Amino acid sequence: MRSKPNILVTGTPGTGKTTTSAALAEATSLRHINIGDLVKDKKLHDGWDDQLECYIVNEDLVCDELEEIMEGGGNIVDHHGCDFFPERWFDRVVVLQTENSILYDRLTKRGYSGAKLTNNIECEIFQVLLEEAKDSYKEEIVVAMKSDSVDDMNSNVATITEWVRTWSSTN
Ligand code: ADP
Ligand code: MN
């Protein structure tokens, strides 16, 4: 049994996973693991996908890399997918959600256009990540959180921080 919880922060690109995870790591002193950065830094991929403009994540390599770290507990994992991690890794799965027009602005600011932009907006409209999370983890550990504004983010961080405190004192 781990003494600190592992939390997965997931959601469509642009919903605020990295910003929220970083703030949460500050507040809780849990370790923020950004899967995108890890994949790049440790070359846990099978090359670059020209069409999707992203690395082709090697899911086995990522899981091998993280197994021991996750066993130790105390991690915030930040990723836009959630179906390939072992279910036993996580005590809480947070799915961030953002209103379409707001997400659209964030993604265009990030330089997304064309198919990449529409795919991500559709991903959010159809709640793909929420469905994926519910399919992959027990429904009672999955929580959707609105991430439209800075106020939303602060309140999400406060809520999760309180949950971590409670979890740590009862486990
Ligand atoms: P993700 O990691 O999910 O792709 P980021 O954390 O990189 O998203 O956030 C994308 C952009 O949106 C950043 O410029 C960030 O500052 C902004 N942002 C993220 N969450 C919020 C929020 N709740 N309110 C306002 N701006 C936000
Ligand atoms: Mn990110």
Ligand 1 centre to CA of 149 (Å) is 9
- Give me the pLDDT at residue 169, please: 85
Determine, yes or no, domain membership for 75.
Answer: yes
- Known binding residue 111? Answer is no
- Give me the pLDDT at residue 141, please: 98
Determine, yes or no, domain membership for 33.
Answer: yes
Per-residue three-class SS string for 40-105: HHCCCEEEEECCCCEEEECHHHHHHHHHHHHHHCCEEEECCCCCCCCHHHCCEEEEEECCHHHHHH
Determine, yes or no, domain membership for 18.
Answer: yes
CB-based contacts of 42, cutoff 8 Å, min separation 6 = 61, 65
CATH of the domain at 100: 3.40.50.300
pLDDT band at 171; cut points 50, 70, 90: confident
Show the domain range for 131.
7-154
pLDDT in tens, 80-135: 999 999 999 999 999 999 999 999 999 999 999 999 999 999 999 999 999 999 99
pLDDT in tens, 7-49: 999 999 999 999 999 999 999 999 999 999 999 999 999 999 9
Contact between 96 and 147 under an 8 Å Cβ cutoff? The reply is yes
Determine, yes or no, domain membership for 21.
Answer: yes
> Residue 140 CB: number of other CB atoms within 10 A?
6
Q: Write down the ipTM of this complex.
A: 0.99
Say yes or no: CB of residue 106 within 6 Å of ligand 1: yes
Looking at the structure of the chain, the number of domains it has is 1
Pocket test for ligand 1, best of 10, 12, 15, 19 (most atoms within 8 A of CB): 19
Q: Assign 33 to helix, strand or coil.
A: strand
Determine, yes or no, domain membership for 165.
Answer: no
* Nearest to 96, CA basis, from 57, 59, 140, 127: 127
Per-residue three-class SS string for 106-152: HHHHCCCCHHHHHHHHHHHHCCHHHHHHHHHCCHHHEEEEECCCHHH
Q: Which residue has the tokens 């959600």?
A: 97
pLDDT band at 168; cut points 50, 70, 90: confident
